[in-house]
């Protein structure tokens, strides 16, 4: 990997500032690659998950990837333009401006849950900013990795190098002297990545996770709220970093919520977990982890309600129906750990202040969801809570907005990408101060006892 990184850095040094036409050419190649390989990619993802709907992969991975690339192509020329800045009158005549400069070679560590979108999203931003990249793909998605590696080797052989391997390879990858390193994954591993990068003073962007709350207010339309909430929780069987992790629900709405959730799941998935549209948990290790969460909660007298009345789980296929967990003690794993699966704890509240207080007692999440039409309440939640991003009256959809930055805060990450935010993340904003033949600075050169100098200081400090 060190040799491959050195090779990319050498190639970058030969073209340290690619023009807009070249960057657009790379992005167009990436677009063409995804379109040409989309069927193979979706089939490979399904193999890695033991089952994932091909349509779900097209919806959640292929479409946002192509949309993001189109947005980069449309705006990259504007992003590259020199940005003028004001000059204080005491420095005139002069000009100030900012040059967005490529960093060099970017390292990208890709997780298993969205192996295409979470590889292509950072990659398109790195290419738009004029960089080369090395991708470390997850060892849990070997079929998808094979297709991505073939695809990029064919369409972008001089811009991207793909690395595969286990946790040790990932650790070694993190320790390479990249010009920037982006990691998507758990907070636990994120700390190790940041520590490894620190040895080279490599700047990092960490896209982590956390327990993203969903607040249903007393004024919310419970039918539409449950529908949108359940979509966010069942997409990819809840294996999404911004999936609603738990619900804060008005106490008097519990029975209605349960009834609507069961009805909605049946509408979404008429054949339950056995249907083609419902995705599997990635592997047996993750399936067993989720089962252990449920077992612990049940042993501590929590009420567990499956939304699939026919068959709540299929262990042989690693399919787990959405489970509502009610009255679980706060020391249970469902409250202490990011769930990353189709388990939805519910906390009942009497006042919105209680809900806000509970959220603020937890580590800051990657996402927050509020279901309410009350503008005063919306403003209150936005101002009194912290989260990486927010959806009001929806879930997940903020991630697909190309003109919004995507990133966490505190324990849920640092830095952001998507759209212009990604271009800025992978560029250095080089500050430039330019003077011509005449410089007003000559009036303040030593010796400092000159009368003119004294007059200038008196004027500037007046």
Question: Strands 105-109 and 319-320, how do they pair?
Answer: unpaired
Could you tell me the strand order of the sheet in which 343-349 lies?
303-306, 323-326, 343-349, 246-250, 213-216, 367-371, 389-392
Model pTM score: 0.92
Q: Are residues 128 and 73 in the same domain?
A: yes
Q: What gap in Å lies between CA 369 and CA 391, rounded to an integer? A: 5
Concerning whether 241 is annotated as a catalytic residue, the answer is: yes
Tell me the residue range of the domain where 147 lies: 2-208+410-430
Average pLDDT (133-151) is 97
- pLDDT, tens digit, for every residue of 176-208? 999 999 999 998 899 999 999 999 999 999 999
- For residue 263, what are its two tokens? 């009805």
- Asked if 10 and 147 sit in the same domain, the reply is yes
Indicate whether 178 and 44 sit together in one domain.
yes
Are residue 195 and residue 297 in the same domain, yes or no? no
Q: Which residue has the tokens 């929806």?
A: 394
Decide if pLDDT at 418 tops 80. yes
pLDDT (0 to 100) of residue 7: 95
Q: Does the active-site annotation cover 303?
A: no
**pLDDT surpasses 70 at 34:** yes
Same domain assignment for residues 221 and 360: yes
Is pLDDT at 278 greater than 80 in this prediction? yes
The Cα-based distances of 164 to 145, 167, 168, 197 in angstroms read 8, 10, 11, 19
- Same domain? For 387 and 418 the reply is no
Per-residue confidence (pLDDT) for residue 326, from 0 to 100: 96
Query: Are residues 193 and 245 part of one domain?
Result: no
Band (91; pLDDT cuts 50, 70, 90): confident
Q: Which of 42, 56, 61, 207 is catalytic?
A: 207
369 occurs within a structural domain: yes
Residues 194 and 241 in one domain: no
Q: Taking 70 as the threshold, does the pLDDT of residue 29 lie above it?
A: yes
Shared domain check, 240 and 141: no
Mean pLDDT on 10-15: 94
Residue 451 pLDDT > 80: no
**Considering the domain boundaries, does residue 294 fall inside one?**
yes
Whether omega before 186 lies within 30 degrees of 0, making that bond cis, reads: no
**pLDDT band at 449, cuts 50/70/90?**
low
375 lies in a domain?
A: yes
- Arithmetic mean of pLDDT over the chain: 93
Please check whether residue 447 lies inside any domain of the structure. Answer: no
CA 80, CA 151: separation in Å to the nearest integer?
28
Angle at 448 between CA 443 and CA 452, to 5 degrees: 45
Contact 206, 326 (CB under 8 A): no
* Spatial distance between the Cα atoms of 218 and 257, rounded to a whole number of angstroms: 12
Identify the pLDDT of residue 82.
95
Q: Residue 313: its pLDDT value, please?
A: 61
Q: Where are the alpha helices (DSSP H) in 239-372?
A: 254-268, 284-299, 333-336, 352-361
CA nearest to 24, candidates 79, 64, 62, 63: 79
- Report yes or no on 333 lying in a domain: yes
pLDDT digits (tens, 9 = 90+) for 303-356: 999 998 766 566 667 899 999 999 999 999 999 999 999 999 999 999 999 999
Rounded Cα distance, 373 and 354, in Å: 19
Write down how long the chain is. Answer: 462
CATH number, residue 177:
3.40.605.10
Q: What's the pLDDT score for residue 46?
A: 96
- The alpha-carbon radius of gyration of the chain (Å, integer) is 26
Structural domain includes residue 147: yes
Q: Mean pLDDT, to the nearest integer, of 239-260?
A: 96
What is the tens place of the pLDDT at every residue in 92-123? 899 999 999 999 999 999 999 999 999 999 99
β-strands 313-314, 319-320 pairing: antiparallel
Q: Which of 42, 241, 264, 332 is catalytic?
A: 241
Do 237 and 278 form a contact (C-beta atoms < 8 A)? Answer: yes
> Residue 430 pLDDT > 90, yes or no?
yes
**CB-CB neighbours of 433 under 10 Å:** 11
∠ at Cα 179 (178, 180), nearest 5°? 85
Please check the confidence at residue 417 and state whether its pLDDT lies above 80.
Answer: yes
- Residues 227 and 288 occupy one common structural domain: yes
Residue 444 belongs to a domain: no
Judged by DSSP in three states, 152 sits in: helix
The answer to whether residue 461 is domain-embedded is no
302 and 251 share a domain?
A: yes
Q: For residue 100, what is the enclosing H or E element?
A: strand 95-102
Domain harbouring 369, CATH code: 3.40.309.10
- As for how many domains the chain has, the answer is 2
**Judgement on whether residues 422 and 377 belong to the same structural domain of the protein:** no
């Amino acid at each position: 990997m060190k040799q491959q990184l050195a090779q990319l850095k050498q190639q970058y040094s030969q073209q340290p500032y690619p023009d807009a036409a070249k960057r657009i050419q790379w992005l167009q190649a990436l677009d063409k690659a995804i379109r040409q390989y989309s069927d193979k990619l979706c089939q490979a993802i399904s193999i890695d998950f033991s089952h994932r709907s091909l349509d779900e992969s097209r919806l959640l991975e292929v479409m946002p990837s192509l949309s993001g690339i189109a947005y980069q192509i449309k705006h990259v020329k504007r992003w590259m333009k020199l940005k003028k800045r004001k000059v204080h009158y005491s420095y005139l005549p002069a000009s100030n401006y900012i040059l967005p400069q490529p960093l060099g070679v970017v390292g990208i560590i890709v997780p298993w849950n969205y192996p295409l979108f979470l590889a292509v999203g950072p990659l398109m931003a790195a290419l738009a900013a004029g960089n080369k990249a090395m991708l470390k793909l997850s060892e849990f998605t070997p079929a998808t990795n094979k297709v991505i590696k073939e695809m990029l080797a064919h369409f972008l052989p001089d811009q991207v190098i793909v690395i595969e391997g286990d946790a040790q390879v990932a650790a070694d990858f993190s320790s390479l002297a990249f010009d920037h390193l982006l990691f998507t994954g758990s907070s636990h591993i994120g700390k190790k990545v940041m520590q490894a990068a620190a040895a080279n003073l490599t700047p990092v962007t960490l896209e982590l996770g956390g327990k993203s709350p969903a607040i249903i207010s007393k004024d919310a339309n419970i039918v539409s709220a449950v529908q949108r909430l359940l979509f966010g929780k069942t997409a990819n069987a809840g294996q999404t970093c911004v999936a609603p992790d738990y619900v804060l629900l008005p106490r008097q709405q519990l029975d209605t919520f349960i009834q609507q959730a069961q009805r909605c799941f049946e509408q979404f998935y008429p054949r339950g977990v056995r249907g083609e549209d419902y995705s599997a948990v990635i592997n047996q290790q993750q399936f067993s982890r989720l089962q252990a969460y449920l077992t612990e909660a049940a042993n501590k007298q929590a009420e567990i309600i499956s939304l699939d009345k026919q068959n709540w789980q299929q262990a042989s296929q690693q399919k787990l129906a959405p489970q509502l967990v009610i009255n679980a003690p706060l020391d249970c794993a469902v409250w202490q750990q990011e769930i990353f699966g189709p388990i939805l704890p519910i906390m009942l509240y009497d006042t919105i202040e209680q809900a806000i207080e509970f959220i603020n007692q937890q580590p800051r999440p990657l996402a927050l969801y509020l279901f309410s039409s009350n503008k005063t309440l919306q403003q209150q939640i936005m101002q009194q809570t912290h989260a990486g991003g927010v959806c009001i009256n929806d879930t997940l959809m903020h991630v697909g907005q190309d003109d919004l930055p995507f990133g966490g805060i505190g324990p849920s990450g640092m830095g952001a990408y998507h759209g212009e935010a990604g271009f800025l993340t992978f560029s250095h904003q080089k500050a430039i101060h330019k003077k011509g033949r005449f410089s007003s600075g000559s009036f303040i050169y030593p010796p400092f006892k000159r009368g003119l100098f004294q007059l200038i200081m008196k004027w500037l400090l007046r």
